[in-house]
């Protein structure tokens, strides 16, 4: 954990960041962990591992942090959730999202 802590401090990451609701949901925000993916150190590290991280291919997205970054406030897929009317333990469980 000390190595992880030193690494996060070296890249300017803090455990808590203050972001507006709009920034988190739609506009995105600057996040050092997301930006780390574009650094030369990270690219050399992944290349040395053969293009994967722990056996998993590294995805290209996201380039911005947030829930719906850079979607021009228009990405609204259909989703269904349980209301809990039949079983209170099912309240707010996602039934389907985007389909």
Domain-wise residue ranges, the chain: 2-74
pLDDT tens-digit map of 2-46: 666 676 666 666 767 787 877 777 677 777 666 667 777 777 877
For residue 80, list its beta bridge partners. 96
Mean pLDDT of all residues in 89-94: 90
Helix (H, G, I), strand (E, B) or coil at 51: coil
* pLDDT for residue 92 is more than 60: yes
Torsion of CA 49, 53, 59, 62, to 10 degrees: -110
On whether the pTM is more than 0.75, the answer is no
More confident residue, 84 or 4: 84
* Separation in Å, CA 30 to CA 3, 23, 50: 23, 9, 28
């Amino acid at each position: 954990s000390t190595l992880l802590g030193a690494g996060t401090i070296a890249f300017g990451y803090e455990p808590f960041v203050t972001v507006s609701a709009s920034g988190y949901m739609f506009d995105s925000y600057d996040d050092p962990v997301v930006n780390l993916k574009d650094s030369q150190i990270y690219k050399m590290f992944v290349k040395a591992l053969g293009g994967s991280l722990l056996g998993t291919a590294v995805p290209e997205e996201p380039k911005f942090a947030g829930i719906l970054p850079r979607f021009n406030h228009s990405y609204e897929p259909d989703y269904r959730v349980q209301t809990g009317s039949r079983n209170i333990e099912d309240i707010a469980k996602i039934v389907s999202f985007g389909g």
